[in-house]
């Protein structure tokens, strides 16, 4: 059974870089599929951040592209998100997910709340 688990600081200061990791179990990232990050501000809807293939090929939301870096570490079976120059607007629950063959999100992590505040 595929399982994903996000980890990282729950509090980030404004202008700093948010860093999260998604550990995958039950499936080898090297075997395929894209892997993605999605966020949800408190009480609001979902926003796709970006996705990465095991080869390192990435696909970012243009609205965040200048601040986002997604990377993969196949040796640890995990992938990571970095979001730079954060503001309060980046406060959200961040989810990692496995992308289905065309773009649906079939497996999700439980999510982790990241608050941007000084």
DSSP symbol at 66: T
User: Which residue lies nearer to other proteins by CB, 16 or 67?
Assistant: 67
Query: Among residues 16 and 93, whose Cβ is nearest to other proteins?
Result: 93
- Is residue 103 part of the contact set for other proteins (CB under 8 A)? yes
The residues near 115 (Cβ < 8 Å, ≥ 6 apart) are 10, 11, 12, 91
- For other proteins, the binding residue among 32, 76, 106, 115 (CB under 8 A) is 106
Cβ proximity of 84 and 64 under 8 Å: no
Measured distance CA(89)–CA(3) in Å, rounded: 28
* Closest CB to other proteins among residues 16, 27: 27
Q: Does 105 bind other proteins (CB under 8 A)?
A: yes
Q: How many CA atoms lie less than 13 Å away from 48 in the CB half-sphere? A: 15
Taking residue 112's Cβ as centre, other Cβ atoms within 10 Å add up to: 19
Please state, as a whole number, how many other Cβ atoms lie within 10 Å of the Cβ of residue 108: 16
Q: Is 34 in the site for other proteins (CB under 8 A)?
A: no
Contact between 46 and other proteins by CB under 8 A: the answer reads: yes
Judged by beta carbon, residue 66 or residue 102, the one nearer other proteins is: 102
Binding site for other proteins (CB under 8 A): 45-48, 61-63, 95, 100, 102-106, 108-111
């Amino acid at each position: 059974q595929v399982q994903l688990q996000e980890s990282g600081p729950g509090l980030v200061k404004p202008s700093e870089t948010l860093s999260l990791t998604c550990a995958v179990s039950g499936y080898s990232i090297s075997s395929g599929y894209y892997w993605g990050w999605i966020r949800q501000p408190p009480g609001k809807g979902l926003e796709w951040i970006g996705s990465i293939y095991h080869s390192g090929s990435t696909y970012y939301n243009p609205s965040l592209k200048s601040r986002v870096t997604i990377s993969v570490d196949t040796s640890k079976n995990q992938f990571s998100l970095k979001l730079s120059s954060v503001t309060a607007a980046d406060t959200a629950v961040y989810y990692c997910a496995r992308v289905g063959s065309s773009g649906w999100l079939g497996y999700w992590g439980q999510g982790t709340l990241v608050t941007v505040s000084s």
